[in-house]
Structure 1
Amino acid sequence: MSLLLAVDVGNTNIVLGIYDLDRGEDAPLVHSWRLATSRERTVDEYGLSSLALLRHNAIEADQVKHVVISSVVPPLHPVLDAWARVYFKAEPLWIEPGIRTGLKVLLDNPAELGADRIVNAVAGLELYGTPLIAVDFGTATTFDVVNERREYLGGIICPGLKISAEALFQRASRLPRVEIAEPERLVGKSTVQAMQSGLFYGYVGQVDGILARLLAEYPGARVVATGGLAKVIAASSQHIGVVAPDLTLDGLRILWLKNRKAGK
């Protein structure tokens, strides 16, 4: 068995995904897991955690033949590079400037584009076509735009919903932490309900307001959402057309394949 381990390193979570390469270029995602992102963990701590997850699903380390990693946490790069080499005997492909993407990046400084954003853009255009607006509900919420010429035009970055909720709790001494969920009613009958309504509908309004402006500039664009809160927000959004929970992992698989064919 030949497996690809795709690793998406975010500020909050590290998402691991296993693809079965024996099933062809459109290899399916077999399993995925989340680990809390920690800059203090050692190579061995990440190694033992990942091996436990694999073995829980009857996968042995020697079945993993390839590793591809995107990361927005630079301090973890040497740790995870060593982790891939020590525990999987694989030289990882890092998503970074210079790799083959199939996109023309039209930014003032293409090197500053986050790896996760380029991965989402590649996955979105390969799986759903262009023009494309990819929305990722992570620690930050990002909007990325690709035109019909497969040109990455740029995007928008907003504070994530969880950041907004935590800021409200920390800066208002009488307000509690609340669960982020669609409230039962618009007008809250308690402080918690009022906060949930404000956070949820305020965020849906922000997302749809941005998407309405983007769609006015790029009519006909497909709006694809991913990230932990994508399904929750999309249910109340007027503009999100597709929810793709595994968009980033699928993008890593696509980029690994592109660069393998290119000899990287």
Structure 2
Amino acid sequence: MLLAIDAGNTNVVFALVDAGAIRARWRIATDPRRTADEYAVWLSQLLALEGFRIGDVTSVIIGTVVPRALHNLQVLSDKYFKTEAVIAGQGRAPWGFQLDVEEPQNLGADRALNAIAAHANHPGDLIVIDFGTAATFDMVDYTGAYKGGIIAPGINLSLDALVTAAAKLPRIAIEAPKGNISVIGRNTVDQMHIGIYWGYIAMIEGLVARMKSEVGRPLKVIATGGLAVLFEKHTDVFDAIEPDLTIQGLWMLWERSR
């Protein structure tokens, strides 16, 4: 089976993929100092809990936006899985689609992988929104070419900045509103929930509307990332939500690299 590793700025996601089907997934906080041995101890226990063994992993592919984390993940693959990891976007696993932007070398691996999977799953022109540490809005045309996009602060990042900079504001959990929906808060916590949640909805809807207007053709909106489901009940901007889009992209790129 394939071990697909998506190393993001906040978490590293490990997914066990068998013929395109995700059999298990785990995540751990991103720490470039974490050694291959530490990963192996953690992973071996989680594999066992799901009924798998280290020997069940025969191939590894890594996509990362944290360059410092790559070396230890490669050592993990070499030492414990006895296979040389395929690195997304490098060597025998180039992206395989046109990067029609000014600085193609700076496109994050997660955004490229999302583009691969979204284009494979959906025909036509697309907007792919990934709710991660940053919120990214990417335009992929009907040929699969990446045409550019938008980077905005992620909702957790925005909340952290607000709480850090304002001494009297409490730390709150991000959650969808329940019961009667009002955008006029009667206390500090409610006002923060409204500002963060509905402010983010307004940003999503506004940016998607501007992208659609600029492109001038129908665009299907695909959302991914752990927080995508947080917004779907209160906006109709998404045509599809695919939480595992990045892992799907890793599997498709690995299949192509073979």
State the TM-score bracket (shorter-chain normalisation).
Answer: over 0.9
> Can you list the C-alpha shifts for 1:31-61, whole angstroms capped at 9, x where unaligned?
1111111122111111111111111101111
Percent sequence identity over aligned pairs: 38
The answer to whether residue 189 in structure 2 is matched with residue 196 in structure 1 is no
The answer to whether residue 67 in structure 2 is matched with residue 74 in structure 1 is yes
Q: How does 1:30-109 map to 2 (within 5 A)?
A: 30-97=23-90, 99-109=93-103
8 Å CA contact 2:89, 2:95 repeated in 1: no
| Paired position in structure 2 for 1:220 | 218
Kindly report the root-mean-square deviation, in angstroms, between the aligned alpha carbons of the 2 structures.
1.3
> Can you list the C-alpha shifts for 1:112-160, whole angstroms capped at 9, x where unaligned?
1110000000000001122111100000000111111221101110000
Structure 2 residue identity aligned to 1:47: A
The SS at the match of 1:117 is helix
Q: Equivalents in 1 of 2:233, 2:26: separation in Å?
A: 24
Q: Which moved more, 1:117-126 or 1:92-101?
A: 92-101
| Paired position in structure 1 for 2:8 | 10
The answer to whether residue 136 in structure 2 is matched with residue 142 in structure 1 is yes
The answer to whether residue 159 in structure 2 is matched with residue 165 in structure 1 is yes
- TM-score when normalising by structure 1: 0.92
Q: Equivalents in 1 of 2:37, 2:10: separation in Å?
A: 20
Q: Equivalents in 2 of 1:100, 1:113: separation in Å?
A: 13
| Paired position in structure 2 for 1:242 | 240
| Paired position in structure 2 for 1:24 | none
- Structure 1: where are the runs of 5+ without partners? 22-26
The SS at the match of 1:108 is coil
8 Å CA contact 1:145, 1:154 repeated in 2: yes
Q: Equivalents in 1 of 2:123, 2:59: separation in Å?
A: 27
> Can you list the C-alpha shifts for 1:166-225, whole angstroms capped at 9, x where unaligned?
111000010000000122332223211110111000011001100011112333111100
8 Å CA contact 2:88, 2:95 repeated in 1: no
1:121 corresponds to which of 94, 104, 115: 115
| Paired position in structure 1 for 2:21 | 28
1:177 corresponds to which of 171, 187, 191: 171
Q: Which moved more, 1:130-139 or 1:36-45?
A: 36-45
Q: Equivalents in 1 of 2:95, 2:36: separation in Å?
A: 29
8 Å CA contact 2:5, 2:60 repeated in 1: yes
> Can you list the C-alpha shifts for 1:60-82, whole angstroms capped at 9, x where unaligned?
11110111110011111111110
Q: Equivalents in 1 of 2:95, 2:67: separation in Å?
A: 21
Q: Equivalents in 2 of 1:97, 1:62: separation in Å?
A: 26
The SS at the match of 1:215 is helix
8 Å CA contact 1:224, 1:243 repeated in 2: yes
| Paired position in structure 1 for 2:205 | 208
TM-aligned CA deviation for residue 97 of structure 1:
4.5
Structure 1 residue identity aligned to 2:199: G
Q: Equivalents in 2 of 1:254, 1:70: separation in Å?
A: 12
